[in-house]
């Protein structure tokens, strides 16, 4: 077959020139017909040539069979389709031809080689047989070049532009197979659309439940820090009674609850907040928990009430006026109540009405340290403190306090 009549070359030249390619029902016709009924493929460049549409070409499949003109042309028409879409339209065309003929369904590698050849990016391939004339000419040229290289070894510029290259290496390099660009080699000629990945990534571009979403949403350029630290557990809060008759005030709470020794309060103290530490083994045995002590909720934010673990009270109702739950019965359903009085004295009637929701504790009456035997009675203070912390710890575990988390509601 002459090179001018080769269907692959004719199709390649027509694609390069942008000329018309017409499937027809006869060699003399110029009226376009469907591929399922066409018998010839008419090329208009460089001259009008009609090729039988069922004629085999130099392109061979992986099974070693020659692929016909109709299959080559049909694959080029549907070059923008992915493999599943291409197989679907090829199956539909085969059904239209009802067994009279069948187009070859190209594999991915076959399509890649075919399209790079038709686009002029590749000359030779294991799937494309060379023309007989080109093969002989190439053999003669190679023998002549080999003989010439043995007789004389002229200096050949190196490929990198540095120094000279051995003629025999130049001959080897000239026979290298030309490769396509990264699009044709890695992904074929159709660019891949990754826009669907945005929907899949949306759940990962927002913060954990309970946190605000990232600024700008999915489409913004917000980034998630690689070493984002976990949220710190908030400090629990204990409310003291602001009553002047209360045995436990800001001035002596630290010495009593942290040191285990009761001293009378200093009513001249102006402190409004206090921090104490206590190790609660059933909640976090590895580190002490820090507690915040305040006498009133005036500076509270609404979410602070979920951190309140105990309320010291004298039974006076006015203490709860500004609380989230101003009714004492309702308050002590959510928070542990604690009453601290003198040993040997009955708690007030208001405290007894609250029942088991208020833990009643008693300490030895204070005596001047200068009096004989005053210090011997203070050893009971630590026993009372341990009972108070035991009640607080049990209430915290029941409300959901954990080693690394606090309750979201009480």
3-state helix, strand, coil in the chain (%, to 5): 35, 15, 50
Q: What are phi and psi of 274, to 5 degrees?
A: -145, 145
Whole-number Å distance between alpha carbons of 307 and 324: 12
Name the superfamily (CATH) of residues 237-399.
Answer: RNA polymerase II accessory factor, Cdc73 C-terminal domain (3.40.50.11990)
Tokens 């609660």 belong to residue: 280
Residue 163 pLDDT greater than 80, yes or no: no
CA-CA-CA-CA dihedral for 309, 313, 315, 317, to nearest 10: -80
pLDDT over 60 (residue 390): yes
Contact 377, 364 (CB under 8 A): yes
Rg, Å, the chain Cα set = 46
End-to-end alpha carbon distance in the chain? 91
Confidence of residue 161 (pLDDT cuts 50, 70, 90): very low
Say whether pLDDT at 323 is over 90.
yes
Averaged pLDDT, 140-156: 45
Which tens digit of pLDDT belongs to each residue from 172-197?
777 777 666 666 666 555 666 777 88
pLDDT digits (tens, 9 = 90+) for 85-112: 999 999 999 999 988 889 999 988 888 8
Predicted confidence at residue 150, as pLDDT, reads 41
- Which of 129-133, 250-254, 274-278 comes out lowest in average pLDDT? 129-133
Q: Which residues contact 210 (CB under 8 A, 6 or more apart)?
A: 408
pLDDT for 201: 83
Render pLDDT for 202-242 as a digit per residue (tens, 0 to 9).
877 765 555 555 544 444 444 445 555 556 889 999 999 99
For residues 57 and 153, give the distance between their C-alpha atoms in angstroms, rounded to a whole number.
41
User: For the chain, how long is the longest CA-to-CA vector?
Assistant: 134
Query: How many Å apart are CA 218 and CA 203, to the nearest integer?
Result: 9
Q: How far apart are alpha carbons 166 and 153 in whole angstroms?
A: 7
Token look-up 């085969």 returns 94
- Core vs surface per residue 135-164: b (16+ CB within 10 A) or e: eeeeeeeeeeeeeebeeeeeebeeeeeeee
Q: Read off the DSSP letter of residue 128.
A: B
How do residues 276-286 score in pLDDT, each as one tens digit? Answer: 999 999 999 98
Bridge partners, 43 (sequence order):
21, 49
- Per-residue pLDDT of 284-316, as tens digits, reads 998 999 999 999 898 898 899 999 999 999 999
Q: In terms of C-beta density within 10 A (0-12 exposed, 13-18 middle, 19 or more buried), how is residue 66 classed?
A: middle
Closest CA to 38 of 61, 10, 68, 4: 68
Give residue 68's pLDDT band: very low, low, confident or very high (50, 70, 90): very high
For the chain, what's the residue count? 410
Sequence spans of domains, the chain: 3-125, 133-176, 237-399
At 184 the pLDDT is: 60
Q: For residue 132, what pLDDT is reported?
A: 74
Confidence of residue 367 (pLDDT cuts 50, 70, 90): confident
């Amino acid at each position: 077959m002459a090179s001018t009549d080769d269907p692959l070359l004719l199709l390649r030249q027509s694609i390069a020139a942008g000329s018309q390619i017409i499937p027809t029902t006869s060699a003399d016709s110029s009226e376009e017909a469907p591929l399922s009924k066409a018998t010839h493929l008419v090329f208009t460049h460089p001259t009008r040539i009609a090729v039988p549409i069922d004629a085999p070409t130099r392109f061979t499949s992986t099974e070693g069979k020659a692929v016909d003109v109709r299959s080559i042309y049909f694959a080029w028409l549907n070059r923008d389709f992915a493999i599943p879409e291409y197989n679907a339209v090829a199956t539909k065309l085969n059904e239209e031809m009802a067994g009279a003929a069948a187009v070859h369904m190209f594999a991915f590698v076959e399509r890649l080689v075919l399209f790079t050849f038709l686009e002029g990016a590749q000359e030779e391939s294991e799937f494309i047989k060379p023309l007989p004339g080109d093969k002989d000419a190439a053999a003669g040229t190679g023998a002549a070049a080999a003989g010439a290289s043995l007789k004389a070894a002229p200096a050949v510029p190196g490929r990198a532009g540095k120094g000279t290259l051995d003629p025999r290496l130049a001959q080897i390099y000239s026979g290298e197979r030309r490769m396509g660009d990264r699009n044709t080699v890695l992904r074929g000629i159709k660019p891949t659309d990754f826009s669907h990945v945005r929907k899949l990534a949306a759940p990962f571009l927002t913060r954990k439940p309970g946190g605000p979403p990232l600024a700008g949403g999915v489409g913004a350029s917000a980034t998630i820090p690689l070493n984002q630290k976990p949220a710190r557990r908030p400090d629990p809060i204990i409310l003291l009674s602001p009553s002047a008759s209360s045995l436990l005030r800001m001035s002596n709470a630290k010495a009593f609850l942290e040191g285990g020794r009761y001293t009378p309060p200093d009513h001249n103290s102006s402190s409004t907040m206090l921090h104490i530490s206590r190790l609660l083994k059933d909640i976090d045995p590895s580190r002490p928990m820090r507690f915040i002590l305040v006498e009133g909720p005036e500076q509270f934010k609404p979410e602070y009430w979920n951190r309140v673990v105990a309320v010291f009270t004298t039974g006076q109702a006015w203490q709860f006026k500004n609380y989230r739950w101003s009714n004492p019965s309702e308050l002590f359903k959510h928070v542990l109540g604690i009453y601290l009085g003198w040993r040997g004295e009955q708690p007030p009637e208001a405290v007894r009405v609250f029942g088991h929701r208020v833990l009643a504790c008693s300490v030895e009456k204070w005596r001047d340290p200068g009096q004989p035997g005053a210090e011997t009675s203070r050893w009971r203070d630590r026993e009372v403190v341990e009972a108070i912390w035991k009640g607080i710890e049990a209430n915290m575990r029941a409300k959901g306090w954990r080693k690394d988390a606090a309750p979201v509601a009480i």
